[in-house]
Amino acid sequence: MNLDPSVDTLLGWIPPEKRDEARQRLQAIVRDQAAALEEANRRLDDARLAALNIMEDAVMARHRLELTQVAFDRSSDAAYWVLEDGGVCYANAAASEATGYSKDELLGLHISDIDEEMTRAGWPKERERIREQKIVSIERRHRRKDGSTFLVEVRINYLEFGETRMFCGFARDITARKLAEENLRASRQRLRSHIENSPMGVIEWDHEWNIVEWNASAERIFGYSRVDALGKNATLLISDPDCESLGKVLSDLSGQRGGNRSTNFNVTADGRTILCDWYNSILTDESGARTGVASMVMDITEANANKTALQKSEARYRLLFENMAAGFAVHEIICDARGRPADYRYLEVNPAFERLTGISAERAVGRTVRELIPDIELSWIDTYGRVALTGESAVVEDYAQALDKFFEVRAFQPAPNQFAVIFSDITERKRTEQAIQRSEAKYRQLFEQSADAFLVIKDGRFADCNQAAVDMLHYPDKAGVLGKQPAELSPPVQADGQSSSEKLAGLIQQMEHQKNLRFDWLHKRADGEIFPVDVSLTSLVDRAGDRILHVAWRDISELRQALNQLQRLSTAIEQSPETIVITDTDGHIQYANPAFERITGYSRQEVMGKSPNVLKSGVHDAAFYAKLWQTIQSGHVWEGRLVNRRKNGEIFTEEASISPVKDRNGNTINYVAIKRDISDELQREESLRQSQKMEAVGQLAGGVAHDFNNILQAILGFSELLLLTLGRDSQEFNNASEIKRSTRRAIELTRQLLAFSRKQPVDTHLLDLNHVVNDAEALISILLGDKYAIALDLAEELPEIFADTGQITQIIMNLALNARDAMPQGGRLAISTERVVFGNRDAAALPDGRAGTFACLSVSDNGCGIGKEIMEKIFEPFFTTKEVGKGTGLGLAVVYGIMKQSKGWINVYSEEGLGSCFKLYFPIPGADGKGAGPDGGRIGERASRILLVEDDESISAMVGEILVNAGYEVVAAATVEQALERYGAANAVYDLLLSDIVLPDGTGIELADRLRAAVPGIPVLLSSGYPDQLARWKDMGPKGYHFLHKPFTVSSLMSAVEKALAKQEQ
């Protein structure tokens, strides 16, 4: 059997001693193959024998063998036979092709020449590894002849042929595969990256909708982490009601190719419902079996909302576009060759455009403006061109001659080289503006020339003002006012004491809610003068749309003064003690002041609108009133007395002055009556007249008293002498007795006369009240007459009191006369005395009472009593209820005065219709230590101290002696200097300065003046023998200085001292 010549070559590498064996083995292999072939042929023959068709198999087998041969040699894999030393002993065509070496070239190479990763030194180790493993499959990099390398997958068989060990390797170029693998890996990586980084959620489900893949976006969209999501069912993302749709998705997917898309609502981990866009595709394995679903998902909730909004917005804008009142048009700018705007074309216009311009859309759209308006000003094209080309917006107002309309045009660039205009017909506004401008000019003139001050406040400062405001504030010009804040032109505080700035802040705030505000305010002129203004604030919005305050000031200084004046007048009228009544020309009362109410007893409401006739007393006849009316109606003032009647019927006299009130034109519009109730005055006048009469009588009585008393002394005395010598039974005795009785009456009469006129000498001494009462009884019975019963109830052993007999007699007489008058029809007069002791509690219960032991003299009657209303007045001087001429009004006043003098008091008890009782309490000397006594020159606990200033030593000594004798303490001085010295030195109080007027170093008057400056009110008695000094009396009198004429008797000195001191005590 022949071997392939190349086999011989192969055998050549085998050591000769082994060559035979190798040959044999190869021959055996070939033999085997030949035997197999033979067997096959035999079997073929057999089969040919058995069945003709087996022949084909035989042919096939041979063919296969051939193929094997060919396969080996023609194998696409490179085949190398490598000897133990690494040398290549066989390589096939594929090896040659793969390496670029020729077959022959290959047969001399060491395996490391081909295997890039193999070194000659490394071969034995590799060789042993292969030997151990028999078959090794490895990936190597082979080197071509040209040095380039390529990846191969080598499969190496270890073969032993006796001593010959060979390695048969089949190397397949895997560069392409590796590349493909690398590509695949990179592709996978990219895909993974895509998936991971996809903005869309990528989710993969198995066929039961369990999550098997979950990318970051899915995590972001649904809020579940990859770990949380994996393995979970799709229901995780859907709300229950939609669950069944999953099956549908799957079935839909199965039935179609390329996947599907759906938009569903899904639920996120935090429970939000979101709208998602799903792209699903079915996953299958190689066999086409369905393994699951891959989904890409996108959260389109927001996008959807935006889309919806956009759609709506588009619709809205379309609607707006169609319905807007403003004209709207979009144009395309047309430029000339040099790129300058030359024309523009209408692209779109809205209905308002058609309406406003009169150009229909049909006519406009597609045409250029030059086509439509050939004589259009180039400035328009320039303006619009700029907008279209630069994107700058433009606002233009202009008048369209052809349309007689004003337009306001806003142009902007909607797209490059385009411009859109929105324009509105502002003809109306323009016309209004022109009208406003005209009216503004007019009002500006009014504003400027108004006499009232007008100002404008803007942003809290005066932004404008007129000349009147400037003048009112006394600034030279507007500049002084403008820019100032209202507070700067105000005093720090307002009339109510509030701070101006605080108050202003409040007012400004108030103006936020109010349109108008009016208030009084104090402002400050440039020269600091404060003046009141009536402020009227109006909130306005100016043309610029800013809020301004319009301020109008009216200087109300004069108005306020007038108001104040009016207020004062009104107050005066209201508070006037005189009745003021204002009537209309018909005599109907329109006003009556409170004095009217007080005096007449009528309220204003009662007389309002009525005639003053209600007051008529009937005293005046009709002629009287006719005269009155005639006077005032002829425009004259009537003055006179009116006897009127009060509401309570009482008659009263008023001194009235009734005058017509005339308006500017001289027409009488009212009458005003000013009346004074002179009833009391008249009564006082009457009383005064009475008292003056009494005074005159008293003066007369006093003047003749001395001589009269001497006469009476003689008559009384001689009648007494007669009575002593005459026989008691003789007629002469009786005659003399009658003379004596008459003399006594004359004495009493004189005393009363003197007492009434208070010319009575006061001789206080201890006396027995009972004696005085007894002595007075006779006179009382004479005074009262037969109709009256006199009852005496005199306490035995009544303690003596310190008083003047004459005064006590006077008290009894006065009270008795009052009692008589209270009982005009006669009655009972009771006089009683008693000793009373009051404790503190008793005393407190008595008006004016005090604790102690007192002698009480009571005089009571059962007459008409004293009304409560006059009880308080009965002791007032000149108060009388008696008819004119019957009483002096002094009776009880004298009683009161005497009781005060006696340091006692009176209590009156009276019941109207039942009678009155006067209780007089006299202190008992020694009983309480406060009894009255002759003080002489004593004041309280000490003697009165007199500063006697007299330069004549003998007179000084005499006067001093008299005064010391009278119980005074006397400090004498001879000069003014000395007097002041003594006064200052003696650390004591002086009660009287008795000084000569003519002194060596000055006058007594000067001295008195200086002393008075130091001791105001010190009594001063000045004496002088110079008649001319009396002329200076005019100056001294008003100062309260007393004067004593020299030479003086002891009596006149004592009298003068007493008088001066008494004045002081008052």
Partner 1 sequence: MARIVVIDDDQSVRILFERFLVGVGHEVLLAENGRKGLELIQGSDPDLVITDIMMPEMDGLEILMEIRKHKKSLPVIAISGGMRSIPMSFLPQARMFGARYVFEKPVPLDVLRGAINELLAEK
The stretch among 19-27, 859-867, 931-939, 982-990 that binds partner 1 (CB under 8 A) is 931-939
Which CB sits closer to partner 1, 288 or 761? 761
- Nearest distance, CB of residue 691 and partner 1, angstroms: 17
Q: Which one-letter amino acid corresponds to residue 39?
A: E
- Nearest distance, CB of residue 753 and partner 1, angstroms: 11
Enter the tokens of residue 60. 């096939």
- Nearest distance, CB of residue 935 and partner 1, angstroms: 9
The stretch among 115-123, 351-359, 674-682, 1051-1059 that binds partner 1 (CB under 8 A) is 1051-1059
Which CB sits closer to partner 1, 720 or 1006? 720
SS (H, E, C) 678-722: CHHHHHHHHHHHHHHHHHHHHHHHHHHHHHHHHHHHHHHHHHHHH
Long-range contacts of range 477-485, CB-CB < 8 Å, 24 or more positions apart?
A: 480/526, 481/455, 485/460, 485/461
CB atoms within 10 A of CB 413: 20
Which CB sits closer to partner 1, 290 or 759? 759
**Terminal CA-to-CA distance of the chain, rounded, Å?**
191
* Residues from 751 through 810 that contact partner 1 (CB under 8 A): 754, 758-759, 761-765
Which CB sits closer to partner 1, 221 or 1053? 1053
Which CB sits closer to partner 1, 665 or 1049? 1049
> Contact with partner 1 (CB under 8 A): which of 15, 635, 967, 1000?
967
- Nearest distance, CB of residue 892 and partner 1, angstroms: 22
Determine, following the binding rule CB under 8 A, whether residue 717 of this chain makes contact with partner 1.
yes
Which CB sits closer to partner 1, 111 or 1054? 1054
Which CB sits closer to partner 1, 342 or 746? 746
Which CB sits closer to partner 1, 164 or 807? 807
Which CB sits closer to partner 1, 609 or 967? 967
Which CB sits closer to partner 1, 373 or 957? 957
> Contact with partner 1 (CB under 8 A): which of 112, 1050, 1063, 1064?
1050
Q: What are phi and psi of 53, to 5 degrees?
A: -70, -15
The stretch among 160-168, 491-499, 660-668, 718-726 that binds partner 1 (CB under 8 A) is 718-726
Q: Are 327 and 312 in contact (CB under 8 A)?
A: no
CB neighbour class for 115 (10 Å; exposed up to 12, middle 13-18, buried from 19): buried
| Size of residue set near partner 1 by CB under 8 A | 45
Determine, following the binding rule CB under 8 A, whether residue 1055 of this chain makes contact with partner 1.
yes
Q: Mask of contacts with partner 1, 517-556, x by CB under 8 A?
A: ----------------------------------------
Q: 738 vs 475, 726, 1014, CA distance in Å?
A: 105, 13, 63
- Nearest distance, CB of residue 765 and partner 1, angstroms: 8
* Residues from 329 through 388 that contact partner 1 (CB under 8 A): none
Which residues, including other chains, have CB under 8 Å from residue 334's CB and lie 6 or more apart?
341, 342, 343, 344, 345, 368
> Contact with partner 1 (CB under 8 A): which of 780, 966, 972, 1061?
966
Enter the tokens of residue 1055. 């009298």
> Contact with partner 1 (CB under 8 A): which of 451, 566, 711, 1030?
711
Determine, following the binding rule CB under 8 A, whether residue 1044 of this chain makes contact with partner 1.
no
Enter the tokens of residue 775. 């002595």
Q: Are 190 and 163 in contact (CB under 8 A)?
A: no
Determine, following the binding rule CB under 8 A, whether residue 837 of this chain makes contact with partner 1.
no
Which CB sits closer to partner 1, 506 or 967? 967
Determine, following the binding rule CB under 8 A, whether residue 708 of this chain makes contact with partner 1.
yes
Which CB sits closer to partner 1, 356 or 1054? 1054
Which residues, including other chains, have CB under 8 Å from residue 963's CB and lie 6 or more apart?
937, 946, 948, 970, 994, 1053, 1057
Determine, following the binding rule CB under 8 A, whether residue 733 of this chain makes contact with partner 1.
no
> Contact with partner 1 (CB under 8 A): which of 366, 460, 934, 1037?
934
Q: 633 vs 281, 615, 660, 733, CA distance in Å?
A: 123, 20, 7, 81
Which residues, including other chains, have CB under 8 Å from residue 1021's CB and lie 6 or more apart?
992, 993, 994, 995, 1041, 1042, 1043, 1044, 1056, 1057, 1060
CA distance 716 to 737: 10
CA distance 182 to 192: 15
The 8-class DSSP code of residue 247 comes to H
Q: Are 425 and 406 in contact (CB under 8 A)?
A: yes
Which CB sits closer to partner 1, 825 or 1066? 1066
The 8-class DSSP code of residue 498 comes to -
- Nearest distance, CB of residue 843 and partner 1, angstroms: 30
> Contact with partner 1 (CB under 8 A): which of 664, 706, 868, 1034?
706
Q: Mask of contacts with partner 1, 665-704, x by CB under 8 A?
A: -------------------------------------xx-
Looking at the DSSP bridge assignments, the partners of residue 551 are 455, 537
- Nearest distance, CB of residue 716 and partner 1, angstroms: 4
Listing from the earlier edge strand, what are the strands of the sheet with 992-996? 969-973, 945-949, 992-996, 1020-1024, 1042-1045
> Contact with partner 1 (CB under 8 A): which of 696, 721, 914, 988?
721
Which residues, including other chains, have CB under 8 Å from residue 739's CB and lie 6 or more apart?
715, 719, 722
- Nearest distance, CB of residue 1052 and partner 1, angstroms: 7
Which CB sits closer to partner 1, 187 or 713? 713
> Contact with partner 1 (CB under 8 A): which of 965, 1001, 1030, 1037?
965
Determine, following the binding rule CB under 8 A, whether residue 1054 of this chain makes contact with partner 1.
yes
Determine, following the binding rule CB under 8 A, whether residue 60 of this chain makes contact with partner 1.
no
DSSP E strands, 544-624: 547-555, 579-584, 589-592
Angle at 241 between CA 237 and CA 246, to 5 degrees: 60
Which CB sits closer to partner 1, 787 or 942? 942
Looking at the DSSP bridge assignments, the partners of residue 311 are none
Which CB sits closer to partner 1, 630 or 965? 965
The stretch among 145-153, 395-403, 885-893, 962-970 that binds partner 1 (CB under 8 A) is 962-970
> Contact with partner 1 (CB under 8 A): which of 688, 714, 871, 1015?
714
Which residues, including other chains, have CB under 8 Å from residue 870's CB and lie 6 or more apart?
879, 881
Q: Are 853 and 873 in contact (CB under 8 A)?
A: no
Q: Are 273 and 223 in contact (CB under 8 A)?
A: no
Long-range contacts of range 620-629, CB-CB < 8 Å, 24 or more positions apart?
A: 628/658, 629/587
> Contact with partner 1 (CB under 8 A): which of 3, 712, 726, 851?
712
The 8-class DSSP code of residue 924 comes to P
Q: Are 613 and 588 in contact (CB under 8 A)?
A: no
> Contact with partner 1 (CB under 8 A): which of 402, 622, 724, 1013?
724
Determine, following the binding rule CB under 8 A, whether residue 939 of this chain makes contact with partner 1.
no
Determine, following the binding rule CB under 8 A, whether residue 707 of this chain makes contact with partner 1.
yes
- Kindly tell me the sign of the dihedral angle through the C-alpha atoms of 90, 92, 93, 94: negative
Which CB sits closer to partner 1, 169 or 960? 960
DSSP readout, 834-894? Answer: EEEEE-HHHHHHSTT--SEEEEEEEEEE-SS---HHHHTTTTSTT---SPTTT--S-HHHH
Determine, following the binding rule CB under 8 A, whether residue 1049 of this chain makes contact with partner 1.
yes
- Nearest distance, CB of residue 698 and partner 1, angstroms: 10
Q: Give residues in contact with partner 1 (CB under 8 A).
A: 702-703, 705-718, 720-721, 724, 743, 747, 754, 758-759, 761-765, 934, 936-937, 961-962, 965-967, 1049-1052, 1054-1055, 1058-1059
